[in-house]
A and B are shown apart, each in its own frame.
Chain A
Amino acid sequence: MLKLPQSAYVSLRRHGEETYPHECCGVLLGQIGDNSVRTVTSVARAGNTRTDSAHNRYNIDPKDLIRIQREGRGRGEDIIGFYHSHPDHPARWSQTDLAEAHWFGCSYVITSVEKGKAVLTNSFELTGSGENHKKLVDEKIEVSPPEGSPDGNRPQKMRAARGQPIGRDHAAISASPNDPAFVARPAGKPVYYGFQVLDDVNVDGFTLGKITDFEEEPCDSGDAFVVAPDNSRAGLVWEVHEPPYFEEVRPADPERWGVWAVSFPFPMTDRENARRNLQTVLPRLNEKWEAWRRGGGTKPR
């Protein structure tokens, strides 16, 4: 597993956007703990020496690497991995990547950059007993939130079960003075009342609402809901993932037209990407909404 501070994650993805349509590359510094958990404490950008073929090859000058290694040593950091980008190409390792990987027990992070925008970031550990027996193995990336909120006076954020901040609608009126509106929903209010509806994240009359607050803390998965043109609602359990999927978590009932597990192709970094993601899953959602509206015993009242 690779643990990255959010600043490092943002920095290496941005690096790929800056060098597009060329590949970027850089070094991950930090510590390798027991059971091969690699914890990044800083990221060093490197130049790509493959100016002859920079759109599909990268190479870090060993001289740069020695300098980066020496500077890291001064801070008690070791080289624990590397990153590079794949301009207009998926975030999967290639045969060239494997053949040229020699740092066993280190992480190789790859970000796909499509039309100048960073899309997916995946990490692979180089494992094996030597050059004749080596593999790049998928590993989990854990992005940790920034240390110390810039606004220290803000009341502590409410967090969802998986530790993400909640996208509260602060204008919602609660039925209980001690609980937020989404816990104590007043009679007559729709499901997901109390969570923020993002009026500008709208495609063909369908609007996205956020349950976990991806704007507060970028993440690869979360909870959301969709408000249909008739104001009826469905739940979404989303994940930034390739290849795409669309699965039922909870069937439709009179109150909502189901809860759906969906994959999003674009990182949930801002509302424009959220809108593109909604657009991608909308054909399937629209089908579910239409089916619910037609009845099938689940239409309200």
Chain B
Amino acid sequence: MPKIHIPTPLRQYVGKQPAVEVKAGTIGAALSDLVAQHPDLRRHLYTDDGKLRAFVNVYLNDEDVRYLQKEATAVKDGDSISIVPSIAGGR
């Protein structure tokens, strides 16, 4: 099964696990399965109208899914999916 790595601030919503295994064939299905398993996570990843929040980056192995087929990007057993909130700012 593909595995989703959970960043430190979101682990409190997934029972403190560093990673969660999901049953899915695409990125979109993987994220859906993740929030189905851990409903508290939903509002931290999605806006009220159901869009992935702009600062949430989703990577399949080392690639940004925005530059692949986005939510339709295929995933397979052994793939590593990372959720990475952005790190930015300025004075």
Contact = CB atoms under 8 A, between A and B. Distances in A.
A62 interface: yes
A73 B89 CA distance: 25
Contacts of A130: 43-44
B90 A58 contact: yes
Contacts of A46: 87
A115 interface: no
A65 B87 CA distance: 9
Given A50-B90, A86-B91, 4 more contacts: A46-B87, A59-B87, A66-B82, A100-B89
A62 B89 contact: no
A66 B9 CA distance: 15
B7 interface: yes
A191 interface: no
A248 B1 CA distance: 67
Interface in B34-91: 43-44, 53, 55, 57, 59, 62, 64, 82, 84-91
B9 A104 contact: yes
Interface residues of A, number: 41
Contacts of B5: 69
A131 interface: yes
Q: Which 3 A-B pairs have the closest CB atoms?
A: A57-B90, A102-B85, A97-B89
Interface of B: 5, 7-9, 12, 18, 43-44, 53, 55, 57, 59, 62, 64, 82, 84-91
B9 A57 contact: no
Contact of B59 (A53, A56, A66): A66
Which of B18, B57, B91: most chain A CB closer than 10 A?
B91
Contact of A66 (B18, B43, B62): B62
A67 to B, nearest CB: 8
A67 B62 CA distance: 8
A56 B86 CA distance: 17
Nearest to B19: A73
A154 interface: no
A60 B53 CA distance: 18
A96 B90 contact: yes
A233 interface: no
Which of A66, A69, A80, A86: most chain B CB closer than 10 A?
A66
A82 B87 contact: yes
Nearest to B44: A130
A80 B90 contact: no
Contact of A62 (B9, B84, B90, B91): B84
A37 interface: no
Contacts of A73: 18
A94 interface: yes
30 contacts: A23-B90, A56-B90, A57-B90, A59-B88, A62-B57, A62-B59, A62-B64, A63-B64, A65-B84, A66-B62, A67-B62, A69-B7, A69-B82, A80-B8, A86-B91, A89-B91, A94-B89, A96-B89, A96-B91, A97-B89, A102-B85, A102-B86, A103-B7, A103-B87, A105-B8, A106-B8, A106-B9, A126-B9, A130-B44, A131-B44
B84 to A, nearest CB: 5
Contacts of A89: 91
A97 to B, nearest CB: 4
Which of A57, A62, A80: most chain B CB closer than 10 A?
A62
A101 interface: yes
Contacts of A103: 7-9, 85, 87
